[in-house]
Structure 1
Amino acid sequence: MNSLDTEAFEALLVNCADEPIRYPGAIQPHGVLVTLSEPALCIEQISHNVQDLFGLNPHALLGQPLSMLTGPTAAAAIAQAAGFAAHVDAPPLELDMQGVAYEGLLHRESGVLVLELELKPDALQIKSTMDKVRNLSRMLQRLQAAKTLPALYDICVEEIQALTGYDRVLIYRFQEEGHGQVIAEASAPSMELFNGMFFPASDIPEQARELYRTHWLRIIPNADYQPVELVPRLRPDTGQALDLSGAVLRSVSPIHCQYMRNMGVLSSMSISLMDGERLWGLISCGHRQPLHVPHELRMACQTIGQVLSLQISALQTLEISRQREAKMEALVQLNTAMVHSQEHVFDGLAAEPERLMSLTGASGVAILEDKVLHRYGECPPPDEIRALYQWFKASGESVLSSHHLSTVYAPAAGYKDIASGLLAMTLPKPVDNAVLWFRKEVKESIPWSGDPKKPLNLEPSATGLRLSPRTSFELWKVEMDGISSKWSHGDLFAANDLRRSALENDLARQVLREQQAVRARDELVAVVSHDLRSPMTIISMLCGMMQKAFSSDGPHTSRRITSAIDTMQQASSRMNVLLEDLLDTSKIEAGRYTINPQPLDVAQIFEEAFSLLAPLALDKSVELTFNAEPDLKIHADPERLFQVLSNLIGNAIKFTPADGKIGVAAMSNGDEIVFSVRDSGKGIAPEQLPHIFERYWTAKEGNAAGTGLGLYISQGIIKAHGGQLRAESKPGEGSEFRFTVPRVA
């Protein structure tokens, strides 16, 4: 094929894919189709063959009541049945029209009522059909009794062939790659056998698959038929083509009819097989001569297809459960190995290479942990594994599988003999890490029905080149290379479950390491703080002794020494406060913070706080007031409660400008006493407010000497009392801190 032919071929393929199979504008000739307006039931469209079957002019019937076609009795029966037209698989109407018995089927499509008429079988056919349908219960019992999928398939094709008389009945399953395979067949001795053969995806285009997905059954009694056009071709109410997706009489693609003839059959019936909402496959029936299957038999076959679909889903689910169950013992043992590994979770897997490979039926496995790479069995070279890991990592997948690796990762073609299949999993860690299972290449000869590279032919016609279906369905074997056996549902489950266990173990180790680090830090802080208290006390005492030895009224040198001693005294005092804060912090974080609660008088606490803090407020010209309800008694640790009040009031004094106000209050609230410290300072910025109780948080301005531990410790003290400490603030309006402690019962 030259380049021009290739371009024409590709263009025609696109046109074929876009063929309006839902809107053919015509029907098959074994019946009549009428569209009706509602509620008047006037004829809007009708198939042209009404002229041949009823001797009526189709154009003359347009706009007329249905009774002009059917007679008043049949029209009344149709009008009554129209209310049930939305019901799935409603039985056909038995209609007498001009002395001829017809079966009528109703359905609605896009706002129009569609009536399809087929000749009713004669008495002999009816009796034969009813005899066969009576055996439907026995057929369904056979299907439900099947224990394996192959047995289920064989029963199905045998029963449908016996029920319908088709020369060939086969089950066709769609593969993940798009093509299909015949997995069961019942055929007459003279028919060419297709069992086990693969068919290219182009044999059933995507839009045809969608019709199979949404409609259970399609029938073609005679592929040599001449399509019967609708009159008018377009809907008079919308000007659009009529959607015939739900019509039994829908005309099919002429390419498909030629495809049937090329296969040696003139009639066919297809029944969809579903796995939930997914089209799983088809029951495909073919006959060398024209064959019209009556409606009752079609419905029986559809029922078999529906039961088979349910059985397939059930047995597939059961098989997946069996595969998973078979992996559980190995998964438990590998999880135990990870739990007991000394350093990293993957170390435990590295100690069980044989079990790790047998888990997924791999011929080799590689375990990567940062700079360390373990390889067992047959694996690519280390550099290739690291490059493969980088590609896997870039994919963003946590688990990835392929049985034809070189098609998705080209460099794998260089080692396809040992690693045509890949199953890999990784953990979300900052270092490179992965478990990569490999499977060797499996040389495989796939039997195709005809050359899969030529699913369609290009041939000349009166209007130029046109597509035609392939004429050969002979066995065509294709040698496949670079593929491995497929990873099963059980293999994928095992990889995902192992990853889950590894992730849980790795997170547990991280938490343990962090807890150990926090514990070691807290212990270090406690030891250092405790050991520094004695020397700091000595420094403070020596500063006091030196102050007595030097007078601030003495010579210049004495004044300088006195000033230096004062600085040392202030620094040591601040250091003592910091040491106390660090000790409190370590106790809070370790959960060892204790209090000694006792009954206290709130008025007395306020008096002590006022005597200590009022001078500080006076130095800044800040008004400090205390107000408590009479006779308030609380159950609290006096030293710790005073520590909280001192911190909150001290902060308020520090951040309240001159002439500002600070109000301290206490009031009862059920079983609690609520303390409040409100100031008229500049307030706390909204973005800072959620963080003020965190360790080492300090105001950004005006707090050069702050340690950032005061509020954190205060919150810890209040929580130890069983209360809560909260803050509210509006910039420019001040802040209020509230905390609760239990009252004396």
Structure 2
Amino acid sequence: MTPQDQDAFEELLANCADEPIRFPGAIQPHGLLLTLSEPALQIIQVSANVETLLARTPPSLIGQPLHSLIGTEYTAQVLDALAQSAFSEAAPLHFELNGTAFEGLLHRHQGVLILELEIHVKNFQPRNVAGINIHLGRMLQRLQAATTLQALYDISVKEIQAMTGYDRVLIYRFEEEGHGQVIAEASDPSMEVFNGLFFPASDIPEQARELYRTNWLRIIPNADYQPVPLVPKLRPDTQTPLDLSFATLRSVSPIHCQYMKNMGVLSSMSISLLKGDRLWGLISCGNRQPLHVPHELRMACQTIGQVLSLQISAMETLELTRQREAKIETLALLNQAMIDSSQSVFDGLAQHPATLMALVEADGIAMIEDKQLHRYGNCPEPEEIRALHKWLQARDEPVFASHHLSSVYPPAAQYQSVTSGVLAMSLPKPVDNGVLWFRAEVKENINWSGDPRKPLDLENSDAGLRLRPRTSFEIWKVEMAGISRKWSHGDVFAANDLRRSALENDLARQVRREQEAVRARDELVAVVSHDLRNPMTVISMLCGMMQKAFSSDGAHTSRRISTAIDTMQQATARMNTLLEDLLDTSKIDAGRYTISPQPLDVGHIFEEAQSLLTPLAQDKDISISFEADPDLRVHADPERLFQVLSNLIGNAIKFTPRLGTVGVCAKSVGNEIVFSVRDSGEGIPKEHLPHVFDRYWTIKEGNPTGTGLGLYITQGIVEAHGGHIVAESEPGQGSEFRFTVPRLD
């Protein structure tokens, strides 16, 4: 082939993939097709063979009512059918027009009603149509009684061949790689046998597969037909070709017709096999002579395809369940090994390499955790494993499986004799980690129907170069290299389940470590608080005694010593406060903060707070007020409630400028007492307000001694009482803190 021919071939191949098979603009000649407007049922388009079949010219029918062509009685039947909700799935209508019997099929698509009048097949020989239902019932019972998938396949092809009379009936299954394999066949002895052969993906292009997925059945009675064009060519309402995706009479690609002839058949019928909404395979029927299977028999075959689809899905699901159940005991052993390990989950797995390999029938296994790499069995070299693992990490797939690794990771070709397949899983951790199972290369010969590298060819015609489907279907043996045994659904399930267990165990270990760290911190805080409290008390007492010995009215040296003692007392008091805050914080963090609630009178609490805190306000000439509804009683811990009030009121006084105001009030709302502390200070910036109760948050400006724990502890105390606390603030207008405590009835 010259470079020019090669370029032409590539262009024609691309055009073939884009061939508008849903919009052929024509139908097969074993019937005629009309598109109708609704509700008037005026004829919009009609196939050109209406002239030969019904002696009416297409132009004379466009715009005319349907009854002008088929009569009022048959039109009434069409209207009755349209009144049914599932009319497209109903039995065909039967018409007798111009001496020819027709079966009428109706469906709507893309805003237009399509009526197909298929010529009725009389005296069909292979099986009496009247006995179809009886035979179908018996066959469905046989399908349901089948215990293996292969038995299902064999029953289906034999029965469909007996019912229809096709020379060959086979089941074709699509593989993950895109190509397909014939897995069952019933053929006339004189036919070439295709059972077991593989066919390249290009034999059934993607858009053709989509039509098979959306249509249960397609029939071509005679591949030697001349397409019948639609008149007019385009839909008058949209000026676009008519979409015939769901039309029984839809004309097919001329390349496909030639493909059929090259296979030695002139008639075909295809029944789709679906798994969920995915095209699983096809029941493909072929006959050496033209053969038009009647609608009733086609529907019986379609039913077989639907039942077979359900049975295949059910039996594959059952097989998957069996595969999974076979792994459960081994997975439980490995899970226990991870639990028992004192180090990490990967260390636990590394103690059981043989069990891990047996889990998925691997030839070798590698475990990676940070700098550690454990290898068992037949594995690539360490640096090769590290490079492969890095590539797997970049893919970011929790579980990866391939039985042809070099096809997606070319460096694997260097060690494909040792490893051609890999199954891998990893955990979301900051260090490199993972388990990689390896399978060795298994060289085998694959029998293809013809050369898979040449599904299409070029030929010269009057119009120039054009594509020609391959003419040879002889067995073509290809040795497959760099391929291992496939990983089964059970193998992939096992990898996923092991990953889930490893993840749960790893997270449990992290939680335990964090809990132990918190417990150790709490114990340290408690010890430090206890051990320091007594010395700090002694220091404070000694400072007081020394203070009396040095009068501020004494000598200059005495005044300096007195000032130093004041500073020591302040520092000691601050350290005591900080120790108390740290102890409270550790208890709140650990969820061990306890209170001793008792009945309290709010008025008495306010009196105590007023006597202790008013002097602080007076030092800054701040006006402070306490207001409470009469006879308010709460159920609270007196020391902790006073701690909350003193913290909030103390902050309000601290951050309110001279001559400002602070108001404290309490009132009954439902089953709670709402306390509020309002000030006229500078307020809290809006971006800081959501964080005021965070641990260690504090306003730095004008608050050099703040620890950032006061409001955090205040919130913990309130919540320990079963209440909640909120803060509101407007810069320049002050702040308000409100908290609730259960009311005592």
Whether TM-score is above 0.5 comes out as yes
Q: Is the 8 A contact 1:86 1:107 kept in 2?
A: no
Alpha-carbon separation, structure 1, partners of 2:114 and 2:633: 87
Change (3 A) 1:591 1:112: closer
Instruction: Show the counterpart of 2:383.
Output: 383
Change (3 A) 1:724 1:104: closer
CA deviation map 1:274-307 (0-9, x unaligned)? 1111111111000111111111111111111111
Change (3 A) 1:85 1:675: closer
Deviating more after overlay: 669-678 vs 388-397 = 669-678
Superposition deviation, residue 118 in structure 1: 2.8
**Structure 1 gap segments, 5+ residues each:** none
Q: Is the 8 A contact 2:126 2:165 kept in 1?
A: no
Superposition deviation, residue 591 in structure 1: 4.0
Instruction: Show the counterpart of 1:478.
Output: 478
CA deviation map 1:260-282 (0-9, x unaligned)? 11001111111111111111111
Instruction: Show the counterpart of 2:523.
Output: 523
Superposition deviation, residue 386 in structure 1: 0.9
Alpha-carbon separation, structure 2, partners of 1:279 and 1:502: 35
Alpha-carbon separation, structure 2, partners of 1:717 and 1:581: 12
Superposition deviation, residue 658 in structure 1: 1.2
Q: Is the 8 A contact 2:81 2:87 kept in 1?
A: no
Alpha-carbon separation, structure 2, partners of 1:57 and 1:2: 49
CA deviation map 1:664-721 (0-9, x unaligned)? 1122345443322111112222332232223222113211101122222223333343
Residue 326 of structure 1 pairs with residue 326 of structure 2:
yes
> Structure 1 vs Structure 2: percent identity of aligned residues?
72
Alpha-carbon separation, structure 1, partners of 2:630 and 2:243: 87
Alpha-carbon separation, structure 2, partners of 1:554 and 1:437: 87
Q: Is the 8 A contact 1:420 1:439 kept in 2?
A: yes
Residue 453 of structure 1 pairs with residue 453 of structure 2:
yes
Change (3 A) 1:648 1:464: same
Alpha-carbon separation, structure 2, partners of 1:119 and 1:670: 82
Superposition deviation, residue 473 in structure 1: 0.2
- DSSP-derived class of the 1:88 partner: helix
Q: Is the 8 A contact 1:74 1:96 kept in 2?
A: no
Change (3 A) 1:244 1:672: closer
- DSSP-derived class of the 1:271 partner: strand
CA deviation map 1:320-359 (0-9, x unaligned)? 1111111111111111111111110111111111111111
Instruction: Show the counterpart of 2:138.
Output: 138
Instruction: Supply the AA of the counterpart residue of 1:122.
Output: K
Alpha-carbon separation, structure 2, partners of 1:721 and 1:274: 61
Superposition map of 1:420-439 within 5 A: 420-439=420-439
Instruction: Supply the AA of the counterpart residue of 1:285.
Output: C
Instruction: Show the counterpart of 2:739.
Output: 739
Change (3 A) 1:738 1:76: closer
Q: Is the 8 A contact 2:525 2:582 kept in 1?
A: yes
Q: Is the 8 A contact 2:37 2:43 kept in 1?
A: yes
Residue 293 of structure 1 pairs with residue 293 of structure 2:
yes
Superposition deviation, residue 42 in structure 1: 3.0
CA deviation map 1:192-229 (0-9, x unaligned)? 01111111111111111111111111111111111122
Alpha-carbon separation, structure 1, partners of 2:706 and 2:70: 98
Change (3 A) 1:333 1:541: same
Alpha-carbon separation, structure 2, partners of 1:641 and 1:128: 94
Alpha-carbon separation, structure 2, partners of 1:590 and 1:115: 75
Superposition map of 1:205-216 within 5 A: 205-216=205-216
Q: Is the 8 A contact 2:182 2:197 kept in 1?
A: yes
Superposition deviation, residue 234 in structure 1: 2.1
Instruction: Show the counterpart of 1:664.
Output: 664
Q: Is the 8 A contact 1:340 1:348 kept in 2?
A: yes
- DSSP-derived class of the 2:87 partner: coil
Superposition deviation, residue 115 in structure 1: 2.2
Instruction: Show the counterpart of 2:202.
Output: 202
Alpha-carbon separation, structure 2, partners of 1:102 and 1:723: 81
Residue 172 of structure 1 pairs with residue 172 of structure 2:
yes
Change (3 A) 1:280 1:7: same
Alpha-carbon separation, structure 2, partners of 1:75 and 1:727: 77
Change (3 A) 1:549 1:23: same
Deviating more after overlay: 358-367 vs 666-675 = 666-675
Instruction: Show the counterpart of 1:256.
Output: 256
Instruction: Show the counterpart of 1:698.
Output: 698
Deviating more after overlay: 123-132 vs 389-398 = 123-132
Superposition deviation, residue 124 in structure 1: 6.7
Instruction: Show the counterpart of 1:6.
Output: 6
Residue 571 of structure 1 pairs with residue 571 of structure 2:
yes
Superposition deviation, residue 100 in structure 1: 3.2
Change (3 A) 1:122 1:674: closer
Deviating more after overlay: 153-162 vs 245-254 = 245-254
Deviating more after overlay: 523-532 vs 544-553 = 544-553
**Structure 2 gap segments, 5+ residues each:** none
Instruction: Supply the AA of the counterpart residue of 1:70.
Output: I
Change (3 A) 1:337 1:114: same
Q: Is the 8 A contact 2:416 2:441 kept in 1?
A: yes
Q: Is the 8 A contact 2:127 2:163 kept in 1?
A: no
Could you state the TM-score of these two structures normalised by the residue count of structure 1?
Answer: 0.96
Superposition map of 1:14-413 within 5 A: 14-84=14-84, 87-122=87-122, 128-413=128-413
- DSSP-derived class of the 2:83 partner: helix
Alpha-carbon separation, structure 1, partners of 2:554 and 2:119: 132
Instruction: Show the counterpart of 2:717.
Output: 717
CA deviation map 1:556-601 (0-9, x unaligned)? 2222222111111211121122122223333333444444444443
Q: Is the 8 A contact 2:664 2:675 kept in 1?
A: yes
Change (3 A) 1:542 1:77: closer
Alpha-carbon separation, structure 2, partners of 1:455 and 1:442: 26
Superposition deviation, residue 529 in structure 1: 1.3
- DSSP-derived class of the 2:673 partner: strand
Aligned length: 745
CA deviation map 1:620-658 (0-9, x unaligned)? 111111122233334433333222221111111000111
Alpha-carbon separation, structure 1, partners of 2:573 and 2:19: 91
Deviating more after overlay: 669-678 vs 136-145 = 669-678
Deviating more after overlay: 470-479 vs 216-225 = 216-225
Instruction: Supply the AA of the counterpart residue of 1:115.
Output: L
Superposition deviation, residue 231 in structure 1: 2.3
Superposition deviation, residue 190 in structure 1: 0.4
Instruction: Show the counterpart of 1:500.
Output: 500
Q: CA RMSD in A?
A: 1.9
Alpha-carbon separation, structure 2, partners of 1:85 and 1:628: 72
Change (3 A) 1:41 1:546: closer
Superposition map of 1:578-589 within 5 A: 578-589=578-589
Residue 640 of structure 1 pairs with residue 604 of structure 2:
no
Instruction: Supply the AA of the counterpart residue of 2:313.
Output: S
Alpha-carbon separation, structure 2, partners of 1:390 and 1:652: 57
Instruction: Supply the AA of the counterpart residue of 1:621.
Output: D
Alpha-carbon separation, structure 1, partners of 2:195 and 2:127: 34
Change (3 A) 1:638 1:77: closer
Alpha-carbon separation, structure 2, partners of 1:537 and 1:512: 37
- DSSP-derived class of the 1:134 partner: helix
Instruction: Supply the AA of the counterpart residue of 1:529.
Output: S
Alpha-carbon separation, structure 2, partners of 1:344 and 1:60: 84
Q: Is the 8 A contact 1:74 1:97 kept in 2?
A: no
Deviating more after overlay: 95-104 vs 213-222 = 95-104
Deviating more after overlay: 521-530 vs 71-80 = 71-80
Superposition deviation, residue 532 in structure 1: 0.9
CA deviation map 1:396-442 (0-9, x unaligned)? 11111111111111111111111111111110111110011111111
Alpha-carbon separation, structure 2, partners of 1:587 and 1:47: 86
Alpha-carbon separation, structure 2, partners of 1:85 and 1:230: 28
Instruction: Supply the AA of the counterpart residue of 2:575.
Output: M
Alpha-carbon separation, structure 1, partners of 2:291 and 2:619: 111
Change (3 A) 1:134 1:607: closer
